[in-house]
Every structure is written in C-alpha cells, then in structure tokens.
C-alpha cells in the first residue's frame, strides 16, 4: 500500500512540474501552491490539473494549456531554453526542440542539431566581431590623429583666410585707384581732344574776325608771353605802377572772365597731372601709357577675382570643419572614420547612395532623389542613423531613411528597402559598429549553450 502511494506521489510530482524551470521547482514543494503574482493560494493538487485556478497569469498551470495567460518553459537540454505561450502546449506542433510541449513520443529531439547550426552562426559572428574590432582599432587611431589636428587645422585656415582677405582688400583699393586713374586719363584725353577741336574751330572762326581790336602779333595765347618785357599792347593800356596812377581800364568786351580762367586752369592742371603720371610711368607716349594702365587694371581685376574665390573656398572649408566639430561620432568617436565617405547599393533600376553624416539618394540614371540628410542617431544609441527632410513624396511626406548599423569587416550597404512609401531602410555594415560588449555577450551565450 505504502509503495503505491509513493509511486503515485512521484508521478504526480513529475506531472506537476511539467513546463517549470528547474530553478523554480522549490515553489512546488509544499502542500499548497502560491500564485505569487495573483496573490492566491491553491492546493498542490490543483497545479497542472488542466483547470485554471489563477487566470490572471496562469501560474497554477505551467504545463497545460488551461490558462490563456500562462507560459510554458522548455528546457531544451543541449540547446537554449525557451518560454512559450501556453496555447502552444499539446497543440500537435513541436515548438520545443526537446518536444516537451507535446505528449511523449510525438516529437523528435532536434536540440543537438539546432545547437550545432546556431553555434556555427555564432562562431561566425564572433569571428566577424573580432576582425571588425581589430579593424576598428586601426581606424580609431587615424580618427584620433585627425581629430587632434582638427582644431589646429581650423586655426591655420583662419590665419590663411585673414591673409587672403587682406589681399582682397589691397587688390580692391588698387583696383579703385587704377579705375580712377583710367577714368581721369580718359576724361583728360577727351578734354584735350575736345579743346583741340574747339581751339581748331575757334581758330578757324577767329581768323577772319575783323573785330579783334589788336593786331595779330599782340594776341595773348601763351603763358610764357605773360612775362614778356616788351609789353605788346598799345601804350595806352600799359600800366606802370607809379604811385597815385590809376590804371587805364582794359576795354570790357576784351576782358577774360576770371572764373572761366580759373576752371580752365584747373582742368589744364589735372590733365597735365595725369599726363605727367603717364609720362613718368611710360616714356613712350600717352597712348602707350593708357594701354599699360588698362592692362594693369585687368591684371589686378583678375587677381582680385582669384583672391575672392580663394576667400570663399577657405570660408567653405572652415564652415565644413566647424560642422565636423559638432558631430556626435559615437561614445569613443568610433564612427569618425565614416565622415566624408559615401556608399552605394544597386536595387532593381535604382542605385541607392548613403553618406554617413551627410545625405542619402535614390538615383536612376538621370534623376537623383534626395532621401534625407543625417539628423541624429536613433533611439538605440549608435545602432541606427536617421536621415530626414528628403525630397517630398508625391502627395505624401518628405522622404526619410533609417540606416541600421551592423558589425562587419568592411564598410558596405547590405540591404535596402522601402517598407512604406517614401520611407526607406538600409542595413549598413561597418567595423565601426563592432562592439566589444556584443562580443563578450555572444561569447558568454556560446559558453552557456555548451554547458547546458
Ligand atoms: C519615386 C521613388 C519611389 C517612390 C515614389 C513615390 O518613384 O522615389 O521610391 O515610392 O517616387 O511616388
């Protein structure tokens, strides 16, 4: 009789522990069982009796499908343990590789085979991680140098920019000077030519002028004549400055207006000044001087344009460098090496391009559609890059690209898709994404599986 009771207790206990992890078995040792999460106590016989006493979490039925909210634990010895929803229990399908979710004899144990397959995958992943981490270390060394030089380069560029800006200022003032001289030269030439023509015309007109009151030999048309000792005018107009003498007034109609005389004198002086400059810079003649001035001006303008281009280039370079300084390249700057690079992948008729920290594009021969500019890292830090504000989708939102980063031994886009219209996804492999922590976790998983 005692033996029957003992056997029954053993069988009942085995049944009672179906679907329970070994480290949870102690909970099923007493006469009563506590549905801990639900705060309800049931008799031990109620465990796995195919009736749900604790419906909130199904804790009293770990090995049957009686509770909708229950969960079944497969031990899967030799492989990995697994938790299933209790609805998978005794449904005729082998969900656990050890077949424990179905009646004995229904399933073949596939745990060792599955373990081998997964082990192979994990060993490969460990190899990739190791190689990637090694490659990353090399890249990071280069990044450290680049980043250390970055500040210095910005400072050097600023000094260069200042030098080129000063050069532009100098060239501008030289250009203004030469343009002004050219303008004066041309005006002077026009004035001289104008005066010569006018003088010629006047001469022609004046020659027959009978009204000129003085004989031809008395005409005053030369500055030098001013100092002539033999005053050439009729005696009555000569003014000997003896005290008390009143000068004999010069006939009004023949007087030269003094204001006109002043203006004319100034113009002559300017013209003379300019031509003096021409002559001093070129002893050939005025025409050659003027040509030289023009060619000097052109060469200054050419130099000015080149210097202005250089200033712009330097400004752009500085702007780019400053932007670089604000980018988050990862916790240890492990993604810095990707800055400035672009990668492509072909899918159907499209070539997709992605430049980490830059832009992404979809190209089809003649068209290039902007799929977004890098904005930020995704929610999982340094595992996802988000590119936003791309070209507007027809009748829809602006295009975006989500780039998932995976560890790889080299940089390449391995996958591209458009899961919803104008919203693109890529997988990008890079040594920069190979994480030492991931390697440790994977190695621990492999070790655990071998021990299991
Ligand atoms: C283009 C491409 C496609 C996109 C449609 C939306 O053809 O960018 O990827 O789905 O536009 O109109």
293 falls in which pLDDT band (50, 70, 90)?
A: confident
Closest ligand 1 atom to the C-alpha of 371? Answer: 8
**What's the rounded mean pLDDT across residues 259-281?**
54
Ligand 1 mean position, distance from CA 418 (Å): 9
Q: Are 406 and 385 in contact (CB under 8 A)?
A: no
Reduced to 3 states (helix: H, G, I; strand: E, B; else coil), residue 365 is coil
For residues 129 and 192, give the distance between their C-alpha atoms in angstroms, rounded to a whole number.
Answer: 87
Question: Residue 394 has which token pair?
Answer: 């027809």
Q: 156-177 in b/e burial notation, b at 16+ Cβ within 10 A?
A: ebeebbeebbebbeebeebbee
Question: What is the arithmetic mean of pLDDT over 207-214?
Answer: 40
How far apart are the CA of 118 and the centre of ligand 1, in A? 39
Q: Is 422 in the pocket of ligand 1 (CB under 6 A)?
A: yes
Express each pLDDT in 417-432 by its tens digit: 999 999 999 999 999 9
pLDDT of amino acid 292: 85
Alpha helices in 78-220 (DSSP H): 111-206
pLDDT of residue 323: 87
DSSP bridge partners of 350: 347
Q: Which of 391, 401, 422 has the most ligand 1 atoms within 8 A of CB, as the residue to mutate? A: 422
Place of tokens 């006469």: 31
CB contact at 8 A, 92 and 105: no
Query: How does DSSP assign 338-379, residue by residue?
Result: GTT--EEEEETTEEEEE-TTSEEEEEETTEEEEEEEEEEE-S
Residue 218 has pLDDT above 60, yes or no: no
- Which residue, 403, 371, 369, 366, is CA-closest to 386? 403
Confidence of residue 271 (pLDDT cuts 50, 70, 90): low
Q: Determine if residue 105 is left, alpha or beta; phi over 0 gives left, psi from -120 to 50 gives alpha, anything else beta.
A: left
CA of 376 to the centre of ligand 1 (A): 24
Residue 418 Cβ contacting ligand 1 at under 6 Å: yes
Tell me, using a 6 A CB cutoff, whether residue 369 lines ligand 1: yes
CA-based torsion, 433, 434, 439, 442: positive or negative: positive
Whether 84 contacts 72, CB under 8 Å: yes
Per-residue pLDDT at 434 exceeds 90: yes
- What pLDDT is attached to residue 291? 84
SS3 (DSSP) at 289: helix
Residue 207 has pLDDT above 60, yes or no: no
The answer, yes or no, to whether any atom of ligand 1 lies below 6 A from the CB of 421, is yes
Which pLDDT does position 201 carry in this prediction? 67
Most confident of the following: 177-191, 205-219, 271-285: 177-191
Nearest CA to ligand 1 atom 4: 422
> Please, which pLDDT band fits residue 190 given cuts at 50, 70 and 90?
confident
293: enclosing H helix or E strand: helix 286-326
Average pLDDT over residues 249-263: 44
Identify the pLDDT of residue 396: 87
* pLDDT for position 78: 87
Residue of 421, 425, 426 best suited for mutating to test ligand 1, as the one with most atoms within 8 Å of CB: 421
Q: Strand 423-430 to strand 412-420: parallel, antiparallel, or no bridges (unpaired)?
A: antiparallel
Q: What is the position in ligand 1's atom list of the atom closest to the CA of 399?
A: 8
> How much is the average pLDDT of 45-61?
96
pLDDT, mean of residues 222-236:
41
Residue 10: other Cβ atoms inside 10 A: 10
Number of alpha helices (DSSP H) and beta strands (DSSP E) in the chain: 5, 12
**pLDDT above 50: residue 217:** no
**Substitution site in 362, 366, 425 for ligand 1 pocket (most atoms within 8 Å of beta carbon):** 362
Q: Bridge partners of 405?
A: 428
**What integer pLDDT is reported at residue 19 of this predicted model?**
95
Tell me, using a 6 A CB cutoff, whether residue 362 lines ligand 1: yes
Stretch 223-231: mean pLDDT, rounded? 40
Out of 372, 394, 423, mutate this one to test ligand 1's pocket (max ligand atoms within 8 Å of CB): namely: 394
Mean pLDDT, the chain, as a whole number? 83
pTM flag (> 0.75): no
Distance 362 CA to ligand 1 centre (A): 9
Q: Per-residue pLDDT for 206 more than 60?
A: no
Which among 281, 402, 408, 293 is positioned nearest to 352, based on CA atoms? 402
Q: Is the pLDDT of residue 296 over 80?
A: yes
Q: What digits encode the pLDDT tens for the residues 313-366?
A: 999 999 988 889 999 999 999 999 999 999 999 999 999 999 999 999 999 988
pLDDT at 237: 39
Residue with the smallest CA separation from ligand 1 atom 12 is 394
For residue 416, report the distance from its CA to the centre of ligand 1, in Å.
14
Is the pLDDT at 384 greater than 90? The verdict is yes
Tokens matching residue 383? 């595992």
pLDDT band of residue 276 (cuts 50, 70, 90) is low
Are 19 and 89 in contact by the 8 Å Cβ rule? The answer is: yes
Answer whether 401 contacts ligand 1 (Cβ < 6 A). no
User: Mean pLDDT over residues 385-401, rounded?
Assistant: 96
Residues 6+ apart with CB under 8 A from 230: none
Query: Cα of 426 to ligand 1 centre, how many Å?
Result: 16
Residue 243 has pLDDT above 50, yes or no: no
Which residue did the predictor score with more confidence, 249 or 39?
Answer: 39
Q: What is the structure's pLDDT at 390?
A: 98
The stretch 235-255 carries a mean pLDDT of 44
Report which of residues 102 and 280 the model is more confident about. Answer: 102
């Amino acid at each position: 009789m005692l033996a029957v009771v003992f056997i029954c207790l053993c069988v009942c206990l085995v049944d009672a522990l179906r679907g329970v992890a070994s480290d949870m078995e102690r909970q099923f040792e007493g006469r009563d069982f506590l549905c801990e999460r639900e705060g309800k106590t049931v008799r031990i016989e109620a465990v796995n009796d195919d009736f749900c006493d604790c419906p909130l979490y199904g804790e009293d039925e770990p090995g049957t499908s009686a509770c909708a909210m229950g969960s079944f634990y497969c031990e899967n010895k030799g492989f990995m343990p697994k938790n299933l929803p209790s609805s998978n229990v005794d449904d005729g399908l082998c969900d656990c590789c050890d077949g424990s979710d179905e009646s004995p004899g229904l399933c073949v144990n596939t745990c060792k085979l599955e373990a081998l397959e997964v082990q192979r995958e994990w060993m490969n992943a460990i190899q990739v991680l190791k190689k990637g981490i090694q490659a990353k270390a090399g890249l990071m060394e280069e990044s450290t140098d680049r980043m250390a030089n970055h500040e210095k380069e910005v400072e050097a560029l600023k000094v260069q920019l200042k030098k080129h800006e000063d050069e532009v200022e100098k060239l501008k003032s030289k250009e203004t000077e030469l343009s002004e001289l050219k303008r004066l030269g041309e005006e002077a030439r026009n004035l001289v030519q104008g005066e010569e023509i006018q003088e010629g015309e006047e001469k022609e007109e004046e020659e027959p002028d009978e009204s000129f009151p003085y004989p031809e030999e008395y005409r005053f048309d030369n500055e030098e004549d001013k100092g002539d000792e033999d005053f050439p005018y009729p005696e009555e107009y000569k003014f000997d400055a003896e005290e008390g003498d009143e000068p004999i007034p010069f006939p009004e109609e023949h007087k030269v207006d003094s204001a006109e005389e002043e203006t004319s004198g100034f113009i002559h002086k300017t013209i003379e000044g300019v031509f003096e400059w021409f002559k001093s810079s070129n002893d050939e003649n005025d025409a050659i001087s003027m040509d030289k001035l023009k060619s000097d001006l052109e060469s200054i303008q050419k130099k000015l344009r080149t210097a202005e281009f250089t200033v712009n280039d330097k400004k752009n370079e500085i702007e780019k460098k400053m932007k670089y300084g604000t980018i988050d390249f990862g916790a240890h700057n492990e993604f810095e090496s990707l800055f400035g690079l672009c990668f492509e992948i072909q899918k159907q008729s499209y070539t997709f391009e992605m430049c980490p920290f830059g832009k992404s594009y979809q190209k089809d021969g003649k068209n290039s559609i902007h799929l977004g500019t890098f904005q930020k890292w995704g929610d999982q830090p340094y595992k996802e890059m988000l590119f936003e504000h791309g070209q507007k989708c027809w009748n829809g939102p602006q295009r975006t690209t989500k780039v998932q980063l995976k560890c790889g031994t080299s940089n390449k886009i391995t996958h591209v898709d458009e899961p919803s219209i104008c919203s693109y996804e890529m997988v990008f492999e890079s040594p920069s994404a190979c994480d030492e922590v991931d390697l440790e976790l994977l190695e621990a998983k492999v070790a655990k599986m071998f021990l299991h």
